Structure 1
């Protein structure tokens, strides 16, 4: 979402503008809840807001529904059954729902499915899974080990946790009616798990699993490519896995895996320029803007840098502030510093060996 949209939505939030009902939801970083635009609660600062196109995105980003504005309820109110199930999930968000759980609440599972699907565009089980997985992602972002997040959200095996994470990215293509299929795989790396998404020819996305907003990135990718995204392997995924292993061992300086860029012409120009930054070297944001022929557009260049969906391969970690400070990095500044030092060390070791 571009900054202009965020500012527009924030003003709508301040004004409690009813015209924006259903257009966006806002997640409040300081409280961990997400709200509708007309929420009567005290308004957060702009920098503490995250904006989402739908409730599922907010859930997957680990936010819980606000109890004041009830963002999962339509302004015309929802049925008592839906309210009961939403409250049941909030009482135990890590619960994995089974048929007996519906019976204990005197709720028909098929009715719950239909009512949730009609109201929110997702079934109750999808809602509960999104809420549970959102909590797991929050734990990972806060520094907990993947195994801890996995166990605390009810997954006894790592494969089960990975499969559940994969399932949030799309149903089977036969159910969605899509002709295009992208496959997603979990890659374990020295700096933590990453997710790779590719078709049979090119890599579309490579991100650290704990990157905030990853779920929305995946959703945008799915929408732009009109594809189903399912767990699996392709040649580009196998290629990048091998290349990442070599990169982290200090034995690879240039990636050869074929890439597919999704972005504006300006963004693609910035990404191509990033790939030209020599291994082990850095450039400033203003220097990056000048390199793409837009010396005054360093903020736009920085935004394009941040929109990069191919971490490490398109080396946005090599862009720093003019004063030598690290600047920003979606994967976290600790990783950025590690990557810069890793490449510098590899060059020193290579030169000393000659």
Structure 2
């Protein structure tokens, strides 16, 4: 059974999907007028508080969420583990992240991991840029990527 909950801290909205006590994915989008937070779980309430602080421009440590990385391909898991080390206010290139994972030349593979990241903000894929500093891609849109990086002081 999938349990869903919505967190809203304008202008952001997070829709969380839980299954078997694990956070399966986060959908990140812009909030809309009338969106209301509907946290259901204790973890959701903790994440909602962190989201409020984040949107207010504070540096936050996201709560330790039960995310299952076991069973994930080793390279993908390594990329996410390195990605979480990139602090707010800093960015890394796809190639730089690949090199940090011990796989120089795997920038495209890192890009695929970012494109399929199911936990945005927690695993901050918005902090990964194209070579030369271009924004690259971002599932929720480049406008949001730019907004997040500006909020964090990276742009």
TM-score interval, normalised by the smaller of the two chains: 0.7 to 0.9
Question: Alignment partner of 1:295: what SS?
Answer: coil
Name 2:102's counterpart in structure 1: 293
Corresponding position: 1:339 with 2:136: no
* 1:44-83 pair list within 5 angstroms: none
Q: Do the aligned residues in 1 keep the contact of 2:39 with 2:48 (CA within 8 Å)? A: no
> Structure 2: how far apart are the matches of 1:235 and 1:283?
33
Q: Do the aligned residues in 2 keep the contact of 1:275 with 1:314 (CA within 8 Å)? A: yes
> Structure 2: how far apart are the matches of 1:182 and 1:238?
18
Q: Do the aligned residues in 2 keep the contact of 1:285 with 1:320 (CA within 8 Å)? A: yes
Name 2:6's counterpart in structure 1: 186
Name 2:53's counterpart in structure 1: 246
Q: Cα–Cα, structure 1 residues 337 and 269, in superposed 2: closer, same or farther, change >3 Å?
A: same
Q: CA RMSD in A?
A: 2.2
Corresponding position: 1:315 with 2:127: no
Corresponding position: 1:270 with 2:79: yes
Question: Alignment partner of 2:25: what SS?
Answer: strand
Larger relative contact order (C-alpha < 8 A, sep ≥ 6)? 2
> Deviation at 1:209?
4.9
Q: Do the aligned residues in 1 keep the contact of 2:86 with 2:127 (CA within 8 Å)? A: yes
* 1:9-28 pair list within 5 angstroms: none
Question: Whose radius of gyration is greater, 1 or 2?
Answer: 1
> Deviation at 1:258?
1.6
Question: How many residue pairs end up in the alignment?
Answer: 145
TM-score of the pair, normalised by structure 2: 0.83
* 1:85-96 pair list within 5 angstroms: none
Greater fraction of residues in helix = 1
> Deviation at 1:290?
0.3
Q: Do the aligned residues in 1 keep the contact of 2:2 with 2:18 (CA within 8 Å)? A: yes
User: What per-residue deviation string (whole Å, max 9, x for no partner) do you get for residues 111-167 of structure 1?
Assistant: xxxxxxxxxxxxxxxxxxxxxxxxxxxxxxxxxxxxxxxxxxxxxxxxxxxxxxxxx
> Structure 2: how far apart are the matches of 1:334 and 1:209?
11
> Deviation at 1:202?
4.2
TM-score of the pair, normalised by structure 1: 0.38
Consecutive aligned runs of 4 or more in structure 1 exceeding 6 Å deviation = none
Question: Structure 2 stretches of 5 or more lacking a match?
Answer: 31-37
Name 2:34's counterpart in structure 1: none
* 1:187-266 pair list within 5 angstroms: 187-198=7-18, 201-209=21-29, 233-262=40-69, 263-266=72-75
